[in-house]
Amino acid sequence: MNTHEKGLDLLEALEYIDPVVLDYDQWLAVGMGLKEAGYSASVWEDWSRRDGRRFHSGECQRKWNSFNGSTAEPVTGGTVLNTYRDQAQIAAHARDSVAALVSLGVVRGSSDMRINPTRSISRAEMAAILHRVLPL
């Protein structure tokens, strides 16, 4: 069962990741993660279109067709987390949890592509997180 079937929503996470600031390998990893999670190539293409300078119509589909999941460690939805500039600051024991919460859209990065894993959160930020997960 892939992450899309489990209900993880990478679309929300992608709203906070600007393809303009990614290098080619990071951009490819996002595409591979989306495919592994069960999304369509059109999701990757629509997101990639935000980079008007490097976007080429049809390129995502061509790359998508070459992703066959044959690597020893497949790129997954959690790979999206690695696009945050400060992802290396996330404690090793918390990486899977943070990746899952980012994929679900519970935890969101900032507009400057940071997750700020060592910063305390405010009451307002906590309220926003709780609002995302609790049906009120």
Specify the pLDDT at position 5: 40
- Within a domain: residue 28? yes
73 contacts 101 by C-beta, under 8 angstroms = no
End-to-end CA gap in the chain: 29
Whole domain around residue 48: which residue ranges?
Answer: 10-133
Specify the pLDDT at position 48: 94
Specify the pLDDT at position 46: 94
30 contacts 51 by C-beta, under 8 angstroms = no
- Within a domain: residue 69? yes
Specify the pLDDT at position 72: 53
- Within a domain: residue 115? yes
Specify the pLDDT at position 15: 77
- Within a domain: residue 129? yes
State which residues of the chain have pLDDT below 50.
1-8
Look at the chain and report how many structural domains it folds into.
1
- Within a domain: residue 3? no
- Within a domain: residue 1? no
How far apart are alpha carbons 13 and 103 in whole angstroms? 6
pTM here is 0.57
Specify the pLDDT at position 106: 77
Specify the pLDDT at position 25: 81
- Within a domain: residue 92? yes
**Cα dist from 111 to 17, 70, 95, whole Å:** 8, 34, 20
